[in-house]
Amino acid sequence: MQTFTNTCDGRAVSSATSFESRNPATGEVLGRVPNSSAEEVARAVAAAKAAQPAWAARPDAERKDLLMQVADVLKANAEYLATWVTREQGKPLGGIGPDQVPGSRFELWGCEVWTRVPASLDLPVELAFEDETRRDEVHRRPCGVVAAITPWNWPLLIAIWKIIPSLRVGNTVVLKPSEYTSIGTLEMVRLIAEILPPGVLNTVSGGGEVGGWLVDDPRVDKISFTGSSTTGARIAATAARHLTPTTMELGGNDAAIVLPDADPKAIAMGLFWGAFLNMGQTCACAKRLYVPDALHDAVVAELKALAEAMPMGDGMQPGTVMGPIQNRMQFDKVRRLVDEARAAGATIVCGGTPPGGPGHFYPVTLVTDIRDGASLVDEEQFGPVLPIVRYREVEEAIAAANRLDTGLGASVWGSDVEAARAVATRIQAGTVWINQHGAIHPMVPFGGVKGSGWGLEFGIDGLKAVTRPQVISVKKA
């Protein structure tokens, strides 16, 4: 069985101990992952620190060109890496077109796009003020060493979101992937690091303690984390000791509000994938749906028909649309939340009972006759389950959407776009979509508010997030 390696200072690095990575659809052991020691983490940070001045000093055009070469490598190896995503994370291979299942091939297409776009962007000098006595300019400088910690749901794409903007502006990176989905990420970094100077991009791997050692290293100049609010709070506390700036994309419990003028049939497919993309294992999926009484039964019927028509199975098999939950811990959480809702009197419209057999499969589940305050509504389920809550007045739905301490995304669905926009402006979330949900774009800033984190990724704002501003103030003669 192959034991994979980390990348440090341009070299493949093994560790004294390792752990298994398993296929969530079959239970098959896929390989072994190095369990980085504290000393190996320190060496990775040291390599990044040593490489950073020369990388930042390279002409801007050279860094852009190298990152475009990275995009070429991602494109050339897309099928190989997509296969690893499916085997290790569980999402189907799918495709990349508008009529294709948004699976692992879509993730690798996203990796290429989210490399080419930041690589093409510039951060020009900003003129803050000028008169006859002075000129004040805002320049953007790299932070230094960026520690990036990524989750298991979109393992390669979220890694790219952190790697490429950081490198584009002259930082170096130490990346720690999730212990549940390490192999694909390590292989991606191995391939793209061949294009880059040694030490510019490094990895460490293992459990939470490895991430803890990484963020606690005083040589780290910026921390970028995507994951749970609980882990984010621990990282923020560690960062505070060193006054290390952070960008945190934490958990979401996105509300979707259907307005009374919506057409259930017209919005059903968008709602379905807004909730169940990647089996609901996406931070910005719709996690709770608010529907007016008059449309409730029609919306539920449309969603039920879609849910029951989606084939579930091993993502490597042709025709698979829905895969497994990635790990047992998350599977058990989803099952607990549905069981609690059922015991409290909620109606399980479809799904609700795992099929048994190998793999962490849980059917797409719709739950009605449930209210705010139920654990399935108030906790982020992060799985293929959607609670559907009735409301009478739009004001009730707005208050319900805002009542929790999360605010990553939300959506409003209706025929009158201006009426939907008026509702959207009152939702406390970093992004509010209208007649779509989770529609991110590499040029559009993305981030949360309240307990869903702080800071922005993507586009110009994402580049600025991994820089520090420096004002050059010139006195005129």
Of 294, 298, 276, 297, which Cα lies nearest the Cα of 285? 276
Q: Please tell me what DSSP assigns to residue 124.
A: P
Are β-strands 365-368 and 6-8 bridged in parallel, bridged antiparallel, or unpaired? Answer: unpaired
Supply 327's token pair: 């790990």
What is the three-state SS of 404-469?
A: CCCCCEEEEECCCHHHHHHHHCCCCCCEEEECCCCCCCCCCCECCCHHHEECCECHHHHHHHCEEE
Which one from 143, 283, 380, 457 is the annotated catalytic residue?
A: 283
Alpha helices (runs of H) in 38-170, residue ranges in sequence order? 38-57, 60-76, 78-89, 104-120, 155-168
Asked if 295 and 329 count as a contact pair (C-beta separation under 8 A), the reply is no
Burial class from Cβ neighbours inside 10 Å (0-12, 13-18, 19+) for residue 298 reads middle
Asked if 459 and 114 count as a contact pair (C-beta separation under 8 A), the reply is no
Report the amino acid identity of residue 7: T
Judge whether 249 counts as a catalytic residue: yes
Q: What whole-number distance in Å separates Cα of residue 272 and Cα of residue 390? A: 17
First-to-final CA distance of the chain: 71
Q: What whole-number distance in Å separates Cα of residue 155 and Cα of residue 167? A: 18
Supply 106's token pair: 């879509």
Q: What whole-number distance in Å separates Cα of residue 162 and Cα of residue 149? A: 9
The answer for residues whose C-beta is within 8 angstroms of residue 213's C-beta and 6 or more apart is: 38, 41, 42
Which one from 249, 302, 380, 457 is the annotated catalytic residue?
A: 249
Supply 405's token pair: 């301490």
Judge whether 283 counts as a catalytic residue: yes
Q: What whole-number distance in Å separates Cα of residue 60 and Cα of residue 47? A: 22
Of 130, 159, 129, 136, which Cα lies nearest the Cα of 147? 159
Asked if 34 and 15 count as a contact pair (C-beta separation under 8 A), the reply is yes
Catalytic residue positions, numbered: 249, 283
